[in-house]
Amino acid sequence: MPIELHDPVVALMREVARDVVMPRYQNLRADEISEKAVDDFVTIADKESEIRLAEELSRILPEAGIIGEEACAADPAILDRAAEGLNWIIDPIDGTGNFAAGRAPFGIMIALADAGTTLAGWILDPLTGRLCHATLGAGSQIDGQKVQARESGDPLPVAALAVYFMTPEERADIQRRSSGQFALVDIPRCAAEQYPRLVLGQNDISVFARTLPWDHAAGTLFLNEAGGCCQRLDGSAYRVGDLRRGLLGASSPRLWDLAADKLFR
């Protein structure tokens, strides 16, 4: 089924990027940006993008439910059924803080999950047009070309650590553990960019504190199907609807084991 859905989903994402997202880029009024929580922004473009995506995805696959970031912000109870049955998972603009500030990166992310297992995922960069896609058991592609995750090749593994949602104690611990073990780089605050970096050899390791499905369903599948490794800190698989904190991604299983040992054991 995901193979048959690919073309209409990609066409929809490109249309929404062109017609809804990009016209608002660097063109937002102050009253079109608000905070859902501290340092967690939403814009009129997020809301309009999700409405358009949800409407059209429901036409593409009517039997699937909709789990959208902005709908869940308005009604958190929607998340309770994220692990049940067939669902579209929608992040209408990932990296909203960047988008609202008029800078890259940001993206549109869609996944299709069945009973918590991600079947397919799509990640679109509206600025460059780059499309990352994965289907469970069939590998990963970037712009239609098969891709294999690769390590950066730097002397120290390159680590991008999303510490901003950690407690002060967690942040201090992971920074102490990583000192001298990894080459630390800034994280783009955009999972739609961070997962491709792990596959393309730009970064080797990422740690995420929050694991909400719209941020990670598509990306974890993309990284794993490319031969990388993205799992819970205890080594269990990421599943949609499991809202536990903590997720570790790496460009290879070897580096995942190394990072888990150095950072969490």
Name the binding residues for Mg(2+).
69, 91, 93-94, 215
Q: Which residues are annotated as a binding site?
A: 69, 91, 93-94, 215
Lookup: tokens for 260: 């888990």
Neighbour count for residue 179 (Cβ, 10 Å): 9
Using DSSP, state whether 7 is helix, strand or coil: helix
Residue 208's beta-bridge partner residues? Answer: 162, 247
Residue 250's beta-bridge partner residues? Answer: 205, 229
Query: CA–CA separation, 192 vs 263, rounded Å?
Result: 24
Using DSSP, state whether 26 is helix, strand or coil: coil
Query: CA–CA separation, 144 vs 5, rounded Å?
Result: 15
